Structure 1
């Protein structure tokens, strides 16, 4: 539940950032106390937001454009950007409101508990967020392995190593980095991540333009190939891809890292984040679709090679994939935080120091176990992208498009005659329909691809 802020200004010197939130460590469980330290600035918040949103999943945007066409693709990408910025700002305003009245909420489930009731936080929002974020960890681990394999094949086209080998290598790297003690401790990593995402998006855009103008340019066709029901489901599948790409199910946890007072800081962080979002999402989507048309693949980087023959210099492909590989490792760490909160809450003792043997040993064991499980699942299920599309429909859309509208309307008790109330309601209703149809489209895609599914497949 949300944490009550006492009137006493006295802070304990060793835990000042948490005491500023609650005044007493006894009021916080170990998950909130150790992982969600409130020490950051609005600029740190911008770094965290950027890493959570601007991830290598954006390389699928040209494929979404192929399902929507030029007009539909640009329109959908623009509307989704505006709606998510509005939605995340609403969440921030709700969090600031509760902090101002003495009940700062540090987690998504805290918000659901305080605004909608205990059952919503415990049985719906908490498990949903945890599932989505851990699913993102698995998906990013798989993506990291695929990036390593891509680098390997560019360097050694006839190499014999398989995908699961690279997933394990990437998981081993994550195993070490996952021991970072708190969300706030990732701020410098996420600053590097911000520059890396700008770098690989610039490389991707430049590469697509180069190929588009080269003599080896593939024939471009911008027509939508699907017809009938396939076309309709393809459109909703594209909606789900774009919504998931903008997705960020950890806004409250990111705002929890900000040192009080929090008023206005999240908005500045969102401005930093969306400056990067606009420059990366639109450049990659438009250049990739322009260069490859309806032949755009699930990741536009796959279009840079034809029959294992690179269309760009090898050093350029290697550089682009190294940028992608390193940035996705930061994304894994960000989406591990809700899991880390649960681990610390269950196994750490908030009455002892965070770096005491009593707390370090369980942290090391259970965080490592969490990464081992995620790596194993990523290696076993190389088709996890199809599953994540289903998770995105069920999870990202409710967390990012529906609940923020509901939280805002309920918290501020908006009049049913107000334009804001009906605007929020309309977004929530449309998003609900989108989630249901997107789930149907995702299940259908899983069924179509089921014949190629094989554990530990070398995809």
Structure 2
């Protein structure tokens, strides 16, 4: 008799929580339609994995070229520990407010409820939008670059330009963008989890193969450049690693969990970080070991030397296809906060979700969001430099600074406690790193400015 009673209790809690959410006056069409609270902790793990374990991890060997072995691995370990800790603090704060009957579904809701409305309007809201929409630009750009690499491998004298591949990838994202809610992406994100394991395993295997043959470059692990370039290189590398661990949408992911939410996010994070540890460390270590300070910004570029593949062509095609396919899932995941804003603006919560009143504005607004992002990617193929600046101003505060601030303000731990001072240390250290990384990013933009031109075929 105990089991049915327990199940019935949970079903009642779920129903009551859903009803309360539906009738809250501050819930608009965006939150109601996009952030449906129906998922399990396993679905949460899929969403987290897609949002963190993404193709930018293929840049980790390049980050090591500025740091070397010891500092590179140390930064990778610290990034994993601090990000896992910060995301758990964020989850605990969200669970606390949900327990009090005020479930917060967005990062902006947290900032408004904990720090005040101005923090949401002038700080958290704008930087979260910048981070998420920059991902919408980078996904078509990176996807286009992978498609171009495959094209040139099969047709070295081909005439197609990068912007054409960006447009092709954008058309694919245009279709996926119409998936109605975050929860609807759970099956796609399960496939995404498998894909990130697949291309990471391929990248690791190829690096080990090339490193064990005479095909690759001579291994040189020395740090290049003079003292100034090395110093700025270190901070650029730290920004790359921090951005790779970045998420920026933890509250929105936790919003997809069916109530009660207690403990579910921690399980989801464990799923995510099990995948993360395998992929991040295997790719970073094998890529840097194989290519040393010649590791490219995207390790896949090292698998072709002067147009000559160092591994079988079919292997390079397969790895790129895995990468391109997962990029489309990553792009759609980071589109969700934008979808919330769009439907909040153009949707009608009083009308059915799939009524013409909501479907037509949804179709138009989401399509315009993707078309704009793909156009920016095609016009500005050097957007990676700008993204480093956005990462310093965006991912650092959202993922490393605000979670510890939210926790200290919400739970008010004693100033004599270890957790209080640990949180203060993290906030101060990552604020300083964010500021210095922003300066390094601006410097890199200035150095690369002479190569910038619209629709460049890089």
Length-normalised TM-score, structure 2: 0.96
Q: Does 1:101 align with 2:100?
A: yes
How many angstroms apart in 2 are the aligned matches of 1:72 and 1:413? 34
How many angstroms apart in 1 are the aligned matches of 2:413 and 2:316? 52
- The residue number in structure 2 matching 1:173 is 172
How many angstroms apart in 2 are the aligned matches of 1:86 and 1:375? 34
8 Å CA contact 1:18–1:38 kept in 2: the answer is no
- The residue number in structure 1 matching 2:298 is 299
Shift of 1:226: 2.5
Q: Does 1:443 align with 2:442?
A: yes
Shift of 1:23: 5.1
- The residue number in structure 2 matching 1:222 is 221
Shift of 1:215: 2.3
- The residue number in structure 2 matching 1:69 is 68
How many angstroms apart in 1 are the aligned matches of 2:119 and 2:379? 33
- The equivalences for 1:357-372 within 5 A come to 357-372=356-371
- The residue number in structure 2 matching 1:340 is 339
How many angstroms apart in 2 are the aligned matches of 1:451 and 1:311? 32
Q: Does 1:91 align with 2:90?
A: yes
Shift of 1:307: 1.1
Shift of 1:397: 0.3
Moved over 6 A (4+): none
8 Å CA contact 1:20–1:260 kept in 2: the answer is no
How many angstroms apart in 2 are the aligned matches of 1:19 and 1:78? 39
Evaluate the alpha carbon distance shift between residue 302 and residue 196 of structure 1 in structure 2; reply closer, same or farther with a 3 A threshold: same
How many angstroms apart in 2 are the aligned matches of 1:17 and 1:291? 56
- The equivalences for 1:172-321 within 5 A come to 172-321=171-320
Task: Give the SS at the match of 1:77.
Answer: helix
Evaluate the alpha carbon distance shift between residue 18 and residue 193 of structure 1 in structure 2; reply closer, same or farther with a 3 A threshold: farther
How many angstroms apart in 2 are the aligned matches of 1:99 and 1:122? 22
Shift of 1:125: 0.3
Higher mean Cα deviation, 440-449 or 267-276?
440-449
How many angstroms apart in 2 are the aligned matches of 1:334 and 1:308? 34
Task: Give the aligned CA root-mean-square deviation in angstroms.
Answer: 1.4
Q: Does 1:57 align with 2:56?
A: yes
How many angstroms apart in 1 are the aligned matches of 2:304 and 2:454? 26
The aligned length equals 448
8 Å CA contact 1:25–1:33 kept in 2: the answer is no
- The residue number in structure 2 matching 1:143 is 142
Shift of 1:454: 0.8
Evaluate the alpha carbon distance shift between residue 331 and residue 411 of structure 1 in structure 2; reply closer, same or farther with a 3 A threshold: same
Q: Does 1:326 align with 2:320?
A: no
Task: Give the SS at the match of 1:442.
Answer: helix
Shift of 1:228: 1.3
Shift of 1:27: 4.2
Evaluate the alpha carbon distance shift between residue 181 and residue 23 of structure 1 in structure 2; reply closer, same or farther with a 3 A threshold: closer
Task: Give the SS at the match of 1:103.
Answer: coil
- The residue number in structure 2 matching 1:127 is 126
- The residue number in structure 2 matching 1:5 is none
How many angstroms apart in 2 are the aligned matches of 1:324 and 1:17? 41
How many angstroms apart in 2 are the aligned matches of 1:390 and 1:414? 33
Evaluate the alpha carbon distance shift between residue 257 and residue 17 of structure 1 in structure 2; reply closer, same or farther with a 3 A threshold: farther
How many angstroms apart in 2 are the aligned matches of 1:276 and 1:240? 22
- The residue number in structure 2 matching 1:116 is 115
8 Å CA contact 1:17–1:37 kept in 2: the answer is no
8 Å CA contact 1:18–1:33 kept in 2: the answer is no
Deviations 1:75-109 (A, max 9, x none): 00000100000000000000000000111000000
- The residue number in structure 2 matching 1:409 is 408
8 Å CA contact 1:21–1:260 kept in 2: the answer is no
Length-normalised TM-score, structure 1: 0.96
Higher mean Cα deviation, 20-29 or 86-95?
20-29
How many angstroms apart in 2 are the aligned matches of 1:333 and 1:373? 14
8 Å CA contact 2:239–2:391 kept in 1: the answer is yes
Deviations 1:17-62 (A, max 9, x none): 9734525164411111000000000000000000000000000000
8 Å CA contact 2:210–2:290 kept in 1: the answer is yes
Higher mean Cα deviation, 133-142 or 24-33?
24-33
8 Å CA contact 1:167–1:378 kept in 2: the answer is yes
